[in-house]
Structure 1
């Protein structure tokens, strides 16, 4: 592969460039505490996950859908007896999540800066439009990307469309992210490279088996290893 055959690199945002899942876990723990008289924490969390799974097609991904799922779960596990004060606490927890400062992950800025200019960089993230725009603005990384796509979900068709719009098609593109299900597998299915950067906290609904047999699958320990990986791919061609 010659250098011009890899022209576009897509980056996931949440838990790839900055912390995200840890705030959901902390809020879930707080939520379980609010409903302690109605069930053990594991039971409350399991019911919440069921609600989230049901509601994804309606609310999509993000904090607002998570907050609505918490309220729904509170009503269910309490048999409709959850007091208004608890609902108010749940809403307050959701608002706090929506205003939490951004914490970039190690090597995020230096890696994006190193690749900017040499490749077309596209931020591809799913979730609530306002919240994702807020996080990108606070991260200070926005100006380094040639394009930003905030999508409702990530599929092979999504990557084919995005990489054709902002690059030279998925065959000359790479997607980098912490989720095998959303960032890696569908990008490979679309014909691109998929680079997995594991995060210690990944939502259970994002878990799938790694496509280890796929020729275009790669895994790195952190974003700091990405430039060398890309150089190796380019040089090998």
Structure 2
């Protein structure tokens, strides 16, 4: 194993191993309906996205920050006149989001089964600690991973640290995920392979251009292609 070009493989969690963004979309639709008497739906979504952008530096990624951004947006759109019943309902849908079911994506388990024991597998995810631990436990995928890293953000420095800690450095590591901005571009910048697995509902703030000119960039349609891709890179 020590002679292989790739010895460590990192996996993103949300919308790579299991569904996530679809629940945010459902919650946002509910939120829009709560404020329909004050503004058009598209305007509400635009203001909510603006609030999320502003608040990332304060609250980080995850459901708690999203809930606070909904409350802030409601106050802004209604100029402070939002009924307390609406604030209560926003808190309720935020709590419901924290308890949404975990639905693994196609081929997630099969890919992990094929790789476990052959490579050092690391789950690398960002967001709320309790929520990510809950989803990992409910997914039934936890036993496949040799390590779990829940981080505040994903940068090239993050990947250098993680792949240095759990392996032979980023040059002999691979990161697999659905977010070009968080999973692929910074991993490649750190020196690792970046394997992009698109998801139709990836959050708009995670969109950047594909690094198609990067020698270590790869794209596959689903996780079922991971084992073959890894095997080819070892030749």
TM-score range, shorter chain: over 0.9
CA distance in 1, matches of 2:81, 2:178: 39
Structure 1, unaligned runs of 5 or more? none
Aligned residues: 234
Residue 203 of structure 1: aligned partner: 203
Residue 97 of structure 1: aligned partner: 97
Say whether the 8 Å CA contact 1:3–1:234 is kept in structure 2. Answer: no
Residue 160 of structure 1: aligned partner: 160
User: Which 4+ runs in 1 deviate beyond 2 A?
Assistant: none
**In the TM superposition, what is the alpha-carbon distance from 1:84 to its structure 2 partner?**
0.7
- TM norm structure 2: 0.98
Structure 2, unaligned runs of 5 or more? none
Alpha-carbon displacement from aligned partner over 1:21-53 (angstroms, at most 9, x marks no partner)? 000011001100100011100000000000000
Residue 118 of structure 2: aligned partner: 118
Root-mean-square deviation (Å): 0.8
Residue 41 of structure 2: aligned partner: 41
- TM norm structure 1: 0.98
CA distance in 2, matches of 1:233, 1:5: 7
Superposed, which structure 2 residues align to 1:58-77 within 5 Å? 58-77=58-77
CA distance in 1, matches of 2:146, 2:19: 22
Residue 220 of structure 2: aligned partner: 220
Say whether the 8 Å CA contact 1:197–1:222 is kept in structure 2. Answer: yes
**In the TM superposition, what is the alpha-carbon distance from 1:232 to its structure 2 partner?**
1.0
SS in 1 for 2:124: strand
Alpha-carbon displacement from aligned partner over 1:186-217 (angstroms, at most 9, x marks no partner)? 00000000000000101110000000000000
Say whether the 8 Å CA contact 2:15–2:21 is kept in structure 1. Answer: yes
**In the TM superposition, what is the alpha-carbon distance from 1:5 to its structure 2 partner?**
2.0
